[in-house]
Amino acid sequence: MAAISVRGLSDEVAARLKVQAARHGRSMEAEVRAILTQSLADSEDDQPNLGQVIRERFAKLGGVELDIPARRDTPRAADLPE
């Protein structure tokens, strides 16, 4: 498991972190862990997937409506080897 040190943290930020941790019933270290975990989870959700990127890129061109032809073939039984 990784360990990090945060240098240069102002006394005000440390005090606010301590209060927030107490409100959540956690230690300051556990609060920092929760904040970092939530922050990184939120940033992953913000990443668009490939389908969204393609849709946004071509949205200005308008949609394409395709006619789906009716099926004319009658269903047939599958011929599976035994």
Question: Model-level pTM?
Answer: 0.53
pLDDT at 44: 66
One-letter amino acid of 7: R
What count of Cα atoms within 13 Å lies in the side-chain half-sphere of residue 1? 1
Q: Are 18 and 27 in contact (CB under 8 A)?
A: no
15, part of any domain: yes
In this prediction, residues 58-74 reach a mean pLDDT of 84
74, part of any domain: no
Calculate the average pLDDT of the chain. Answer: 88
Q: Domain tally for the chain?
A: 1
Integer angstrom CA distances of residue 65 from 60, 62, 68, 70, 72: 15, 10, 9, 16, 21
Give, in degrees to the nearest 5, the angle at Cα 31 between 28 and 33.
Answer: 110
The tens digit of pLDDT for each residue in 21-43 reads 999 999 999 999 999 999 888 76
6, part of any domain: no
Residue 72 has pLDDT above 70, yes or no: yes
Q: Which domain holds residue 28?
A: 11-60
